[in-house]
Amino acid sequence: MKAEVSRRWGSGEGRSAWTRGRVLAGVAVLTAVLLAFHRAVPNSVGRLGSLLEAFLPWLGLVAVVLLGLALLRRSATALVALLLPVAAWTYLFGGLLLPGEPESDLLVAQHNVSDENTDPAGTARALADAGPDLIALEELVPTALPVYEKTLAPEYPYHAVRGTVGLWSKHPLSGVRLVDIKPPGITDDWRRGLQAGVRTPRGEVAAYVVHLPSVRVGASGLASSWRDESAGRLGEAIAAEQRKRVILMGDLNGTVEDRGLAPLTSRMNVAERGFAFSFPAGFPVARIDQVMARSATVAHIRTLPATGSDHLPVAARITLG
C-alpha cells in the first residue's frame, strides 16, 4: 500500500508530494492573507482596498481552482496550504450559508427600480407579492411614481417620497423628512435620502431610505469619493437619530465589506445569513442593495425575482431588539 501511494504521488524524478506545488502553496497563502487582512490593502492608490473588498467573497473561487490544480499536481504541500484560505473564507462568510429563514418581527424589501424601468406596475406587484411590511424604492422618476403609488396603495396605505427615494408601509408613518446626504461636490438638485418614524406592532422604529452616489471602475482604479462622502454624512445622521431602533434600506453602491461604508457598518448590524448578490441583475456579482439595523438584527437577506430593473430586489427579515 505504501509503495502504491508513493508511486501515485511521486514524480519519478526524485521529487515528492511535499516538494511539488510550492507556487500553488504560495498563491494559497497569499489568498488567505488577502482574506484575513484585506483592511491592510491600501486605499491611497486607486482605492484598491475598496475594490478588493467589493469582490471579497469571490476569493473563495481561487481556493477551488487551487484545489483542482493541487490534486492535478499531486502536491501535499499545496493541499495543506489550502487550509489557510478555506479557514479564512469560512470565518468571514461561512455563517451566511446557514440554512433556513429564522423568525422575525418585520419583513422589508429594498429595490433600486431603475429610472429606465419600462414596467413599474409589474415591479410594484412583484414586490407586494413578497408580502413585506416595508418597501424601500430608489430611482423613482416623476413619470413612474404615480404607477407605483396606485399599484401599491391597496396593501400599503402609508407612503412617503422625497426626491427619487420612497418608502411604502403597512404601518403608520410619522415625522417624514429629507435626509441631506449630498456630497459637497454635487451642485445639482439631488435628493436621495428620507427618514420616517414607523409605528410597528413592536414599537416605533426610524426607517431610512437612501441612494448613495455611484462608483466607477476604470484604469485608475475605483472612483468612490462621492459615495464615501455621502456615507459619512449618512453615518452622522444615524448617529444623531434619537430613536433607539433604526432600519436602513438603500442602494449603497457598496458591499458591507467595503471600508467606504465603514461610517455605516461600524454603527449598524448587517445581515447574519444570506449573500443576496443583487447587481447586475443579469449576472449578480455583489450585493450593493443593503438592509442594516441598529438595536435590531437583520436575521436573513435574500434576493427576489428579477423585475424591469438592472438590480435585483432584496428582502430581509428583521428581529427587533
89 in the same domain as 217: no
> Of the candidates 97, 117, 148, which is a domain's last residue?
97
The grid cell for 315 is: 428582502
133 in the same domain as 28: no
150 in the same domain as 27: no
Asked if residue 288 lies in contact with residue 276, where contact means CB atoms within 8 angstroms, the answer is: no
pLDDT tens for each residue of 111-127: 999 999 999 999 999 99
> What CATH number did the domain enclosing 140 receive?
3.60.10.10
Contacts 24+ apart (CB under 8 A), 11-20: 11/74, 16/76, 17/74, 17/75, 17/76, 17/77, 18/76, 18/77, 19/77, 20/73, 20/74, 20/75, 20/77, 20/78
DSSP track, 54-81: HTGGGHHHHHHHHHHHHHHHT-HHHHHH
Residue tagged 430608489 (cell numbers): 138
pTM over 0.75: yes
Residue 67 has pLDDT above 50, yes or no: yes
119 in the same domain as 44: no
Nearest residue to 171 via CA among 84, 105, 90, 89: 105
Q: Is 308 exposed, middle or buried (0-12, 13-18, 19+ CB in 10 A)?
A: middle
Please give the Cα distance from 196 to 243 (Å, whole number): 11
Residue 7 has pLDDT above 60, yes or no: no
Q: Average pLDDT for residues 66-86, to the nearest whole number? A: 94
Q: Which domain holds residue 246?
A: 106-320
Residue 287 has pLDDT above 90, yes or no: yes
129 in the same domain as 82: no
254 in the same domain as 180: yes
DSSP track, 262-301: HHHHTTSB--SS-----BSTTS--B--EEEEEESEEEEEE
Residue 12 has pLDDT above 50, yes or no: no
139 in the same domain as 173: yes
DSSP letter assigned to residue 154: T
Please give the Cα distance from 307 to 119 (Å, whole number): 8
The number of folded domains in the chain is 2
272 in the same domain as 169: yes
- Phi/psi at 125 (5° precision): -65, -40
179 in the same domain as 265: yes
126 in the same domain as 59: no
> Of the candidates 72, 97, 122, which is a domain's last residue?
97
Asked if residue 63 lies in contact with residue 70, where contact means CB atoms within 8 angstroms, the answer is: no
pLDDT tens for each residue of 225-267: 999 999 999 999 999 999 999 999 999 999 999 999 999 999 9
259 in the same domain as 290: yes
Please give the Cα distance from 20 to 74 (Å, whole number): 8
The grid cell for 21 is: 506545488
226 in the same domain as 155: yes
Rounded (5°) CA angle 150-155-161: 55
The grid cell for 210 is: 437612501
> Of the candidates 67, 97, 127, which is a domain's last residue?
97
Q: Average pLDDT for residues 103-112, to the nearest whole number? A: 95
pLDDT value for 10:
54
Residue 219 has pLDDT above 80, yes or no: no
The mean pLDDT of the chain is: 93
